[in-house]
Amino acid sequence: GSSVPQFCNSPTMIVMVGLPARGKTYISKKLTRYLNWIGVPTKMFNVGQYRREAVKIYKNFEFFKPDNEEAMKIRKACAAAALKDVALYFTKEQGQVAVFDATNTTRERRAIILSFAMEMGYKVFFVESICDDPEIIAENIKQVKFGSPDYADRDIDEAMEDFIQRIDCYRASYMPIDDEKDRKLSYIKIFDVGSRYLVNRVQDHIQSRIVYYLMNIHVTPRSIYLSRHGESELNLLGRIGGDTGLSPRGQKYASALATFIKGQKISDLKVWTSHMKRTVQTAEALGVQYEQWKALNEIDAGVCEELTYEEIQENFPEEFALRDQDKYRYRYPKGESYEDLVHRLEPVIMELERQENVLVICHQAVMRCLLAYFLDKPADELPYLRCPLHTVLKLTPIAYGCKVESFFLNIEAVNTHRERPMNVNVSRKTEEALQTVPDHI
Amino acid sequence: MPRELTQNRIQKIWVPTKDDRRRGGAPHFANPPTVIVMVGLPARGKTYMSRKLTRYLNWIGMPTKVFNVGEYRREAVKNYSSYDFFKPDNECAVKIRQQCALAALRDVRSYLKDEGGQVAVFDATNTTRERRDMILKFGEENDFKIFFIESVCDDPSVIASNIMEVKVSCPDYRDCNKTEAMLDFQKRIECYKKSYQPLDPDRYDRDLSFIKVIDVGRRFLVNRIQDHIQSKIVYYLMNIHVQPRTIYLCRHGESTDNLKGRLGGDAGLSPHGKQFSSALARFVEEQQLKDLKVWTSQLCRSIQTAEHLGVPYEQWKALNEIDAGVCEEMTYDEVKEKLPEEFALRDEDKYYYRYPAGESYQDLVQRVEPVIMELERQENVLVICHQAVMRCLLAYFLDKSADEMPYLKCPLHTVLKLTPVAYGCKVESISLNVEAVNTHRERPEEVKRGPGTLIRRNSVTPLTSPESNIKKPRIDDLDEAPIQELPPSVSALALCSPSHIPLTLCTILHYLKVVSLLVFQR
The interface predicted TM-score (ipTM) is 0.94
Q: pLDDT band for position A421 (50/70/90)?
A: very high
CA distances to A14, A80, A194, A371, B450 from A32, rounded to whole Å, are 10, 21, 18, 16, 49
Of A128, A205, A229, A305, the active-site residue reads A229
Q: Give domain A224-434's CATH superfamily.
A: Phosphoglycerate mutase-like (3.40.50.1240)
In angstroms, rounded to a whole number, what is the distance separating the alpha carbons of residues B465 and B487? Answer: 45
For residue B389, tell me if it sits in a domain.
yes
Assess if residue B476 is contained within a domain: no
Max CA distance (Å), chain B: 81
The residue from B71, B75, B150, B252 that is catalytic is B252
- CATH code of residue B80: 3.40.50.300
Burial (CB count within 10 angstroms: exposed 0-12, middle 13-18, buried 19+), residue B332: middle
| B223 and B264 both lie in a single domain | no
Least confident of A177-191, B157-171, B273-287: B157-171
Q: Do B264 and B174 share a structural domain?
A: no
Residue B218 covered by a domain: yes
Question: What residue numbers bound the domain in which B218 lies?
Answer: 34-239
Are B46 and B150 in a shared domain?
yes
pLDDT at A153: 84
User: What does the longest C-alpha to C-alpha distance in chain A come to?
Assistant: 75
Query: pLDDT tens across A27-40, in order?
Result: 999 999 999 999 99
Catalytic residue list contains B321: yes
Nearest to A202 among B7, B201, B238 (CB): B238
Q: What is the mean pLDDT of residues B152-162?
A: 93
B218 phi/psi in degrees, rounded to 5: -70, -35
What contacts B462, CB < 8 A, 6 or more positions away?
Answer: B58, B59, B60, B61, B365, B395, B396, B400, B401, B402, B405
For residue range B304-357, what is the model confidence (pLDDT) as tens digits? Answer: 999 999 999 999 999 999 999 999 999 999 999 999 999 999 999 999 999 999
Q: What is the pLDDT of residues A230-263, one digit of tens each?
A: 999 999 999 999 999 999 999 999 999 999 999 9
Coil, strand, or helix at residue A274? coil
**Count of domains in chain B?**
2
Specify the pLDDT at position B502.
Answer: 37
B270 and B362 in a single domain? The answer is yes
Amino acid (one-letter) located at A114: L
In this predicted structure, the answer to whether residue B439 has a pLDDT above a threshold of 80 is yes
**Which residues touch A204 (CB under 8 Å, ≥6 apart)?**
A7, A8, A123
Looking at residues A323-345, what average pLDDT do you find? 97
The CA R_g of chain A, rounded to the nearest whole Å, is 25
**Residue B184 and residue B274 in one domain:** no
B487 phi, psi to nearest 5 deg:
-65, 145
In a domain, B124, yes or no: yes
B464 in a labelled binding site: no
In terms of Cα–Cα distance, which of B58, B81, B359 is closest to A295? B359
- Of B431, B451, B473, the residue at which a domain comes to its end is B431
The DSSP output letter for B340 is H
Q: Are B199 and B329 in a shared domain? A: no
In a domain, B171, yes or no: yes
CB A190 within 8 A of CB A127: yes
Rounded average pLDDT over A114-123? 97
Annotation: binding site of A for substrate: 228-235, 278
Which of A265-279, B6-20, B161-175 is predicted least confidently? B6-20
Contact in structure between B302 and B384 (CB atoms under 8 Å) = yes
Examine the fold and report which residue of B239, B265, B289 is the final residue of a domain before the chain moves on: B239
Mark the binding-site residues of A, compressed into ranges.
228-235, 278
Tell whether B252 and B235 lie within a shared domain. no
Whether residues B322 and B262 fall in one domain: yes
- Shared domain check, B311 and B395: yes
pLDDT, tens digit, for every residue of B453-475?
Answer: 433 333 455 666 676 645 433 33
Is A205 part of the annotated catalytic residue set? no
Among the partner-chain residues B218, B231, B315, the one whose CB lies closest to the CB of A5 is B315
Catalytic residue among B71, B321, B359, B369: B321
- In the A/B pair of chains, how many CB contacts fall below 8 A? 102
Higher pLDDT, B311 or B499: B311
Q: How far apart are CA A348 and CA A358, in angstroms?
A: 11
| Selection from A27, A23, A20, A68 nearest residue A48 by Cα | A20
Any idea what the CATH number is for the domain that residue B327 is in? 3.40.50.1240
**Phi/psi at B374 (5° precision):** -75, -35
Q: How many residues does chain B have?
A: 522
Cβ partners under 8 Å of residue B35, min gap 6? B108, B112, B119, B120, B121, B122, B135, B138, B139, B144, B145, B146, B147
Residue of B nearest to A295 (CA): B26
**What's the angle, vertex CA A233, arms to CA A228 and CA A234, rounded to 5?**
80
Residues B224 and B256 grouped into a single domain = no
In sequence order, the β-bridge partners of residue B34 are B119, B145
Is B219's CB within 8 Å of A215's CB?
no
B66/B286 Cα distance (integer angstroms): 39
Q: Name the CATH architecture for the domain at A12-215.
A: 3-Layer(aba) Sandwich (3.40)
φ/ψ bin of B192: left (φ > 0), alpha (ψ from -120 to 50), beta (otherwise)? alpha
Asked if the model's pLDDT at residue B517 lies above 70, the reply is: no
pLDDT band at B61 (very low <50, low <70, confident <90, very high): very high
Residue pair B268/B301 in contact by the 8 Å Cβ criterion:
yes
Instruction: Give the residue extent of every domain in chain A.
Output: 12-215, 224-434
Kindly indicate the confidence band of residue B512, based on its pLDDT and cuts at 50, 70 and 90.
Answer: very low
Closest CA to B391 of B353, B364, B367: B364
* CB–CB contact A199 B377 (8 Å): no
Q: Residue B195 CB: number of other CB atoms within 10 A?
A: 13
Residues 190-249 of A with CB under 8 A from B: 195-202, 205, 208, 211-212, 215-216, 243, 245
Which residue, of B375, B407, B431, is where some domain finishes? B431
* B386 and B280 in a common domain: yes
User: Hey, are the CB atoms on B377 and A208 less than 8 Å from each other?
Assistant: yes
Same domain, B274 and B160: no
